[in-house]
C-alpha cells in the first residue's frame, strides 16, 4: 500500500497524532491507513538538489523495457 | 475566510538591476511559476509578509467558527445540525493546514495565536458581524464562503508551495460550504413569508460586509504591487470583488429576493454588473476593532485558549509519563 504525505499536525504523542490525523485528514473518505512520523525524524533532500539528485536517471533510458525492440514473433514479453 | 489588507513588508519593488544575485534567482523562479519551498532561499520581506498573510488567513478560519458555532445548538433540524457541525469542523481543519504552512516559515503556531490574542495579528473583518437568525447561517455559507472561494481559487497559484497546497486542499472542501449555505437559504426564501423575510434580512445585512472581504479598492491598496510581483497576491481586490458580484447577483435573483443594493445593474458595455462600494469608513472601523462583535470574538478566543490549557497540559504530562515509563522498561 503506497502512502502519500497529506499534511502536518501537532500532538503530544504518537497515539494522539493518529487520532488527530484521522479527524483532520480523512473527513472525505480519503482514509485507508495512517502513518505518523515526528518531523525531527525525517531526513529530506533539498528541493534545490532536484537536478543533481534525479536528473541522472533521465539519461538511462535503457532502464525502461520499451527501450528494447523484441520481434513480434517472440510473443508477449 | 481569508486574509485582507496585508501590509506588505517591502521598500518597493526592485528592478532587476537593483537585485542581488540571490534575489534575481528567486524572482526568476517566481516568474517561471516554480514554487518556492521552505528550505529555498527567500528575501526576508517575502517571508515576513507571508507569515502575516497566512497567519491572518489561519486566524480567520478559526475565528470564523464562532458566528456559526452560535447556531449549532439551535439548528432547525438534526440534519442541518450535523451539516453545520461538519462545516465548522472543516474550518478547524483549514486553520490547521494554514498554521502548518505558516510554521514552515519559522514561526510557531503558539506564537501566532499569542500575536492574535495581543491584537497584533488580525482576522477577516467579516467575522465581526453577528449571526442573528438562522437565515444568516445560510447566507454565511453561501456569501462568505462564496467570497472566500473566489479568493482562494486564485491563491492556488500562489508562489509559496506549502500555501498553494493548503489552498488546493481547502478549495476542494469549500464548495460543500457554499452549497449547504445556498441550500439552507433556498429553504427559507421559498418558505413562509416570515422565513422569506428573514432570508431577505440576512442578505441585506451580509451583502456589504461580504464585499469588504476582498479588502479596500485597488486605488487604496498601496502595498499590492510587491505582493503581486511575488505572486502571493494573484488578482487585485477589485477584480475579485467584481467576479463575486457577477457570480452572486443571479443567485440572489433565483431566490426571488430583492437585490441588497439598488445600484446593482447589468452593464452591457463592460460585461459586468455595476454596484455600490461598501462603506469604507465602516470597513476601516471594523478593522480597527470597533465592529459589532470584535470584543466578543476575541474574548471567546482567549477564553477557549485559556480554559483549554489544562487539557493540553494534561495530554503532554501523560505523554511524558508514558515516554519515561517506556525508556525505563527498555
Pair B98, B145: CB distance under 8 Å = no
B274 backbone dihedrals φ, ψ, rounded to 5°: -85, 150
Return the beta strands (E) in B140-192 as ranges. none
The C-alpha cell that represents B314 in the structure block: 494534561
> Which class for B131: exposed (0-12), middle (13-18), buried (19 or more C-beta within 10 A)?
buried
Residue B282 pLDDT > 90, yes or no?
yes
For B54, half-sphere exposure in the C-beta direction (CA atoms, 13 angstrom radius) is: 33
CA terminus-to-terminus distance, chain B: 48
Full-model pTM: 0.92
CA distance A43 to chain B (A): 13
Q: A residues 3-62 near B, CB within 8 Å?
A: 7-10, 12-13, 16, 23-25, 27-28, 46-48
Q: Is it the case that residue B189 has pLDDT exceeding 80?
A: yes
Residue B153: the pLDDT is 95
- Name the residue with higher pLDDT: B283 or A29: B283
Q: Considering only CA atoms, which of A20, A73, A72, A21 is closest in space to residue B312?
A: A20
How far does the CA of residue B328 sit from the closest CA of chain A (Å)? 17
Backbone angles phi, psi at B160, to 5 degrees: -85, 115
Q: What integer is the mean pLDDT of A20-43?
A: 92
The cell numbers describing B81, all together, are: 445540525
Instruction: Provide the ipTM.
Output: 0.82
For A32, B130, B224, B245, B297, the CA distances from A4, given in Å and listed in that order, are: 11, 40, 36, 38, 37
Q: Any chain A CB within 8 A of the CB of B61?
A: no
Q: Is the pLDDT of residue B7 over 70?
A: yes
pLDDT tier for residue B2 given thresholds of 50, 70 and 90 = low
| Residue B289, phi-psi category: left (phi > 0), alpha (psi -120 to 50), beta (remainder) | left
Q: Are B93 and A27 in contact (CB under 8 A)?
A: yes
Confidence of residue B249 (pLDDT cuts 50, 70, 90): very high
B43 pLDDT higher than 60: yes
Task: Determine the average pLDDT of the residues in B171-181.
Answer: 94
3-state secondary structure of B303: helix
Question: Do B141 and B65 touch, CB atoms closer than 8 A?
Answer: no
Largest CA distance in chain B: 78
Determine the residue of chain A that is closest to B39 in CA distance. Answer: A46
Contacts of B103 in chain A (CB under 8 A): 8
The C-alpha atoms of residue B106 and residue B127 are separated, in whole angstroms, by 27
Closest Cα of chain B to A59: distance in Å? 23
Q: Do residues B140 and B228 lie in contact, with contact meaning Cβ atoms separated by under 8 Å?
A: no
pLDDT reported for residue B130: 97
Are A24 and B93 a contacting pair at CB < 8 A?
Answer: yes
Pick from B270, B287, B269: which is nearest to B278 by CA?
Answer: B287
Q: Could you tell me which residue, B309 or A49, shows the higher pLDDT?
A: B309
Cα angle for residues B304, B310, B312 (degrees, 5° grid): 85
Would the pLDDT of B149 be above 90?
Answer: yes
Amino acid at each position: 500500500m503506497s502512502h502519500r504525505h497529506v499534511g502536518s499536525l501537532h500532538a503530544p504523542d504518537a497515539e494522539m497524532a493518529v487520532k488527530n490525523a484521522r479527524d483532520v485528514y480523512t473527513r472525505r473518505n480519503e482514509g485507508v491507513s495512517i502513518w505518523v512520523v515526528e518531523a525531527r525524524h525525517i531526513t529530506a533532500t533539498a528541493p534545490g538538489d532536484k537536478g543533481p539528485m534525479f536528473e541522472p536517471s533521465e539519461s538511462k533510458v535503457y532502464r525502461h523495457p520499451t527501450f528494447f525492440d523484441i520481434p513480434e514473433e517472440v510473443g508477449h514479453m | 475566510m481569508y486574509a485582507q489588507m496585508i501590509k506588505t513588508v517591502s521598500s518597493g519593488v526592485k528592478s532587476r538591476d537593483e537585485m542581488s544575485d540571490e534575489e534575481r534567482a528567486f524572482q526568476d523562479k517566481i516568474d517561471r511559476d516554480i514554487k518556492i519551498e521552505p528550505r529555498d532561499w527567500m528575501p526576508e520581506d517575502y517571508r515576513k509578509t507571508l507569515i502575516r498573510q497566512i497567519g491572518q488567513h489561519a486566524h480567520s478560519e478559526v475565528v470564523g467558527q464562532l458566528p456559526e458555532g452560535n447556531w449549532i445548538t439551535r439548528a432547525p433540524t438534526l440534519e442541518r445540525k450535523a451539516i453545520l457541525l461538519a462545516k465548522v469542523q472543516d474550518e478547524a481543519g483549514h486553520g490547521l493546514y494554514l498554521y502548518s504552512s505558516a510554521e514552515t516559515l519559522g514561526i510557531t503556531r503558539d506564537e501566532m495565536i499569542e500575536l492574535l490574542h495581543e491584537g497584533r495579528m488580525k482576522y477577516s473583518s467579516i467575522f465581526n458581524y453577528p449571526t442573528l437568525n438562522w437565515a444568516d447561517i445560510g447566507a454565511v455559507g453561501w456569501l462568505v464562503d462564496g467570497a472566500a472561494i473566489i479568493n482562494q481559487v486564485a491563491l492556488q497559484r500562489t508562489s509559496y508551495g506549502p500555501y498553494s497546497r493548503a489552498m488546493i486542499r481547502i478549495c476542494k472542501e469549500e464548495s460543500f460550504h457554499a452549497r449547504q449555505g445556498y441550500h439552507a437559504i433556498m429553504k427559507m426564501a421559498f418558505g413562509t413569508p416570515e422565513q422569506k423575510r428573514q432570508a431577505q434580512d440576512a442578505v441585506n445585512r451580509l451583502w456589504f460586509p461580504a464585499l469588504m472581504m476582498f479588502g479596500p479598492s485597488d486605488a487604496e491598496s498601496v502595498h499590492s504591487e510587491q505582493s503581486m510581483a511575488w505572486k502571493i497576491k494573484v488578482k487585485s481586490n477589485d477584480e475579485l470583488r467584481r467576479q463575486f458580484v457577477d457570480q452572486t447577483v443571479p443567485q440572489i435573483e433565483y431566490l426571488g429576493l430583492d437585490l441588497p443594493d439598488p445600484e446593482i445593474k447589468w452593464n452591457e458595455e463592460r460585461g459586468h454588473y455595476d454596484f455600490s462600494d461598501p462603506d469604507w469608513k465602516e470597513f476601516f472601523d471594523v478593522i480597527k476593532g470597533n465592529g459589532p462583535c470584535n470584543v466578543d470574538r476575541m474574548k471567546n478566543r482567549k477564553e477557549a485558549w485559556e480554559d483549554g490549557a489544562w487539557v493540553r497540559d494534561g495530554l503532554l504530562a501523560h505523554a511524558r509519563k508514558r515516554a519515561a515509563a517506556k525508556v525505563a522498561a527498555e
